């Protein structure tokens, strides 16, 4: 039994759920955060172990303070915060009907602002618990952009960049900050049918359990982990040959 503690956002499905299963199986005490109370309760009942729940909509500015208060009330120390909550409702080009500033702001708040709020609320506890770790689940979409997902790109570019800065700032305080950059991962929110339905593209899609392995590596000191691992080549191509990448994406079918 590890006796370690973790707060996981976006824990009701996909990567967050898979991470909860792994940590509870390894003897961690976990505080699971998600909007869907019923799903959290079902998961906790299934997992058994030392599982705590705090249903919360992280776009609510007051949610982070409630989460921090609950963590400090339940745990003597906090070893790990995983900012995993996020999503994207639709695709579209900026300027299309219903795909302007308001939608960009919504996706920024869901994927970036919420992680900043939760981190700010829990950072004093993490510092007092040092050595401890924060792992932000960003995206390859935050390293290389593609058409029709500009809002999601913007949010993940922001999260990825902020994570890098946070690493340098918190290292002197004993808090490691790791970043996970998934490519296509098949989850409830991102089922990836356009890829999984075809034999010749199915290989491009990873599993939530692979993302869990990446999160644990990042929590253990790695600066950035891509998943599946080969996705880490794409940012190198993007920065090494940006004109080639733009040409390839320009020629994609809309």
Closest Cα to residue 116, out of 140, 143, 81? 81
Predicted pLDDT at 192: 58
The yes-or-no answer on residue 152 being catalytic is yes
Q: What is the DSSP string of 156-194?
A: HHHHHHHHHHHHHHHGGGTEEEEEEEE-SB--SS---HH
The pTM of the full predicted model, rounded to 2 decimals, is 0.90
3-state SS of 135-160 is: EEECCHHHCCCCCCEHHHHHHHHHHH
Predicted pLDDT at 251: 67
Predicted pLDDT at 28: 97
Between CA 207 and CA 118 the distance in angstroms is 26
Per-residue pLDDT tens, the chain, 254 aa: give them.
468 999 999 999 999 999 999 999 999 999 999 999 999 999 999 998 789 999 999 999 999 999 999 999 999 999 999 999 998 989 999 999 999 999 999 999 999 999 999 999 999 999 999 999 999 999 988 998 888 999 999 999 999 999 999 999 999 999 999 999 998 776 655 555 554 444 444 445 678 899 999 999 999 999 999 998 777 777 777 778 778 767 777 766 55
> Prior bond to 131 cis, omega within 30?
yes
Predicted pLDDT at 242: 74
Between CA 114 and CA 38 the distance in angstroms is 21
Side-chain half-sphere exposure of 18, counting CA atoms within 13 A = 17
Task: Considering the candidates 152, 167, 200, 231, report the single residue annotated as catalytic.
Answer: 152
Domain boundaries, the chain: 5-250
CATH number, domain 5-250: 3.40.50.720
């Amino acid at each position: 039994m590890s006796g370690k503690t973790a707060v996981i956002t976006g824990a009701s499905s996909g990567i967050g759920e898979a991470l909860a299963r792994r940590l509870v199986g390894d003897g961690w005490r976990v505080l699971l955060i998600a909007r869907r109370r019923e799903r959290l309760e079902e998961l906790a009942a299934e997992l058994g172990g030392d599982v705590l729940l705090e249903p919360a909509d992280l776009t609510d500015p007051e949610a982070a303070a409630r989460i921090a208060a609950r963590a400090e009330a339940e745990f003597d120390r906090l070893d790990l915060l995983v900012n995993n909550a996020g999503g994207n409702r639709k695709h579209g080009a900026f300027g299309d009907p219903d795909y302007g500033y308001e939608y960009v702001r919504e996706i920024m708040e869901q994927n970036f602002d919420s992680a900043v709020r939760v981190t700010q609320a829990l950072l004093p506890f993490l510092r007092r618990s040092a050595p401890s770790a924060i792992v932000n689940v960003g995206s390859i979409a935050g390293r290389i952009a593609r058409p029709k997902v500009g809002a999601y790109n913007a949010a993940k570019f922001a999260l990825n960049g902020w994570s890098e800065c946070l690493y340098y700032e918190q290292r002197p305080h004993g808090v490691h900050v790791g970043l996970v950059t998934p490519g296509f991962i098949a989850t409830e929110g991102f089922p990836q049918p356009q890829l999984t339905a075809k034999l010749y593209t199915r290989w491009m899609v990873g599993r939530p359990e692979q993302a869990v392995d990446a999160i644990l590596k990042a929590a253990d000191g790695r600066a950035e982990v891509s998943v599946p691992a080969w996705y880490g080549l794409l940012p190198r191509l993007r920065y090494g040959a940006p004109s080639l990448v733009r040409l390839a994406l320009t020629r994609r079918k809309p």
